[in-house]
Structure 1
């Protein structure tokens, strides 16, 4: 029996990189003799009633699996309620999308992360005097430091602040949104690693470098080169992926003292075009192979 799947991306995003990711997965599925249809998330709507349902226009039959490259976690959960195996699961996507939730999970498992202080939640538009206890935060983390919003992609919503006044200005700008204060890993300025984890394997990895930016994201102008990770880096990336309950993820590692790896981010929807062009290894092929194995194995938990 031929397996059939849906690949879902967000219909509100016009960037070619989102469609390209879906197409790479579809091509890999077809190579392995699996049917795969690409849908926008707005092609399929959740219908809430006594029994979980969806509203769709293009096809009536439900798939054997869904590859969810979007962050519409309500739709992902609805598909799970219909008994469809979703890669990645809604809970994993939600944890990955929320950097605070990710760091809490990593810290719970005692995995290495930058020292982090979660900003207290405020329900007022005006910031009261010393609500954020800036002096204590500077004393604990030092300057410069990173201020990072809980939600953001491609290195955006991440700010390097050098002075107390800059810190006040950033807080004033993002007040009301969830964010955190974080130790600045100076030894990793402008460089990091991206390891692509699928199941219990790292299938490929690259080193990213930026000359004029503390962030090494390719989208932010960084360059890339193929990288052979150490056993410890591989083990750490796999543990980080499993920590958020993901089937696959792009794990970003920073260079700490003596190049000891520190987990920066676990991205459940990491795009794979750059790492494929850098290393000539296509993670989409391994993702599809992993899905096939998972669907043929009963009772296996991630």
Structure 2
């Protein structure tokens, strides 16, 4: 079946990594005889009225969309137009929000570090002292603070003292965040497993010598990693828990087994290719073509 698709990426963010990911998917689609076109999210405008739900200045809709951005409203608009979107708006929104992700993982009884959701603060400086003390009692020090929204290991803080904890809470202000148990056995090291459908197609281990975070963008190094059956099972279940068809799942080395650190529905795959020589884009597009023909 000859298909036409759109690969949508962010048109506002600087750098080439977002375009690079989209181009990798486009090349993989073209190899499968699917005519894939690249679109920036800011090239597509949604229009709504009592009698209209559409895209401005677009006559012919695609057979499918691969959505590599976080413009949830656009992704949902495409779904309302009955266009299959991979990953879905729901999966992308859940993945983008660490709090929503951890709630879904916990609901499925998947292994995660012990996590406390900070109450929603509307007025900065109003975080109660007793909640700070309760958090320290529950999680100990050091502990990790993660803002709900952030990428590439940013907006994640390792806190060693109560004073430091108070300072970071004040810095975060009224943005949503969580407190999380610090997994000392995984200091500066984690694994990234790329899941597509019911399969882990590639894996790499990431290490940092001078940071508790192992992200490559934060200076970490990488090497190919052959995941255990337990790690693969956890990664696949984590991907399904957020409703994604494919995702990059980051696992920590807990003292009693692997723990899920993050599930990224729009995981960039260039580093994975450089490290493992496996092009996840080929697996992603093959999966999508099979879904369309099912």
TM-score by length of structure 2 reads: 0.98
Aligned-residue offset at 1:51: 3.3
In the TM superposition, what are the counterparts of 1:90-109 in structure 2 within 5 Å?
90-109=89-108
Kindly tell me the number of residue pairs found equivalent between the two proteins.
Answer: 293
Aligned-residue offset at 1:125: 2.7
Partner of 1:300: none
Partner of 2:266: 269
| Alignment of 1:82 onto 2:85 | no
Distance in 1 (alpha carbons) for counterparts of 2:230 and 2:180: 24
- Determine which of 273, 287, 291 is the counterpart of 2:288: 291
Partner of 2:278: 281
Whether the aligned pair in 1 keeps the contact of 2:45 and 2:56 (CA below 8 Å) is yes
Q: CA 1:169–1:35 in structure 2 vs 1: closer, same or farther (change >3 Å)? A: same
Partner of 1:55: 56
Whether the aligned pair in 1 keeps the contact of 2:124 and 2:170 (CA below 8 Å) is no
SS in 2 for 1:219: helix
Q: CA RMSD for the aligned pairs? A: 1.0
Aligned-residue offset at 1:127: 2.0
Q: List alignment gaps of at least 5 residues for structure 2.
A: none
Aligned-residue offset at 1:289: 0.3
Deviations 1:71-110 (A, max 9, x none): 0000000000000000000000000000000000000111
Partner of 1:232: 230
Whether the aligned pair in 1 keeps the contact of 2:9 and 2:40 (CA below 8 Å) is yes
Aligned-residue offset at 1:32: 1.1
Aligned-residue offset at 1:60: 2.6
Aligned-residue offset at 1:288: 0.6
Which stretch of the first structure deviates more once superposed, 70-79 or 42-51? Answer: 42-51
Q: List alignment gaps of at least 5 residues for structure 1.
A: 298-302
Deviations 1:5-48 (A, max 9, x none): 00001111121100100000011111111100000001111111
Deviations 1:198-249 (A, max 9, x none): 0110000000000000000000000000010000100000000000000100
Distance in 2 (alpha carbons) for counterparts of 1:196 and 1:128: 38
In the TM superposition, what are the counterparts of 1:199-238 in structure 2 within 5 Å?
199-238=197-236
Q: CA 1:66–1:125 in structure 2 vs 1: closer, same or farther (change >3 Å)? A: same
Partner of 2:17: 17
Whether the aligned pair in 1 keeps the contact of 2:105 and 2:241 (CA below 8 Å) is yes
Distance in 2 (alpha carbons) for counterparts of 1:126 and 1:263: 31
Aligned-residue offset at 1:129: 4.6
SS in 2 for 1:147: strand
Partner of 1:254: 252
Whether the aligned pair in 1 keeps the contact of 2:121 and 2:127 (CA below 8 Å) is no
Deviations 1:248-269 (A, max 9, x none): 00000000005x1000000000
Distance in 1 (alpha carbons) for counterparts of 2:277 and 2:40: 28
| Alignment of 1:164 onto 2:166 | no
Aligned-residue offset at 1:128: 5.3
